[in-house]
Amino acid sequence: MTWWFRFCASTFWLLGGENIYYGWIRPTAIIISQFRRSPDGNYVAAGSLDTVVRIWDVRDETLVERLRGHSDSVYDIAFTPDGKALFSASMDKTLKCWDLTPMLENDGSKTGQGEESARSIEFVGHKDCVLSVAVTPNSAWVVSGSKDRNVLFWDTATGEAQSCFKLIRTP
């Protein structure tokens, strides 16, 4: 699915498939690197250059969660197919898996003002910035790509890298 993002003042639109989201972001100096929609369509998550992942409830246009824990910019994010977890890829050379169950059990009623409110598991193995992340349909594997030119396959149950493909340049 292709997403189109447009910022005008502090308003954003997300267009994709049959879903059109319109929302309001209070004016800030935040630079967003990536948007993703939750599988149920109720939430939008954004990775940003200020190291924080923010989650908005699109039903009432409120910020419901701030996920803090990376030490550098968050470059990519991916929801699990069931929407109960979110993976973030960062310039700090790590992936994090954020448990969103507490937010979902409260139906997104968190204030988004707390410290690191969701539990996270850190995946360490890349030698340079992690630029992309994807989750398999059964949530058993996470795949990440890095500036170190490695693609790692992670077991989500253990957080261990199971396979590595080295990308090589050809003339």
What tens digit of pLDDT does each residue of 114-166 get? 445 567 888 999 999 999 999 999 999 999 999 999 999 999 988 899 988 88
DSSP structural state of residue 103: H
End-to-end CA distance of the chain: 32
Asked if 44 and 23 touch (Cβ cutoff 8 Å), the reply is yes
* Residue of 164, 69, 63, 49 whose CA lies nearest to 112: 63
Q: How much is the pLDDT for 131?
A: 93
**In the predicted structure, residue 110 carries a pLDDT above the cut 90:** no
Residues 6+ apart with CB under 8 A from 140: 155, 156, 157
Taking all residues of the chain, what is their mean pLDDT, rounded to a whole number? 79
Question: Alpha-carbon distance 61 to 50, whole Å?
Answer: 21
Which pLDDT tens digit goes with each residue over 25-64? 444 556 777 888 999 989 999 998 888 999 988 888 788 8
Which pLDDT tens digit goes with each residue over 75-108? 999 999 999 999 999 999 999 999 998 888 876 5
Q: What pTM was estimated for this model as a whole?
A: 0.79
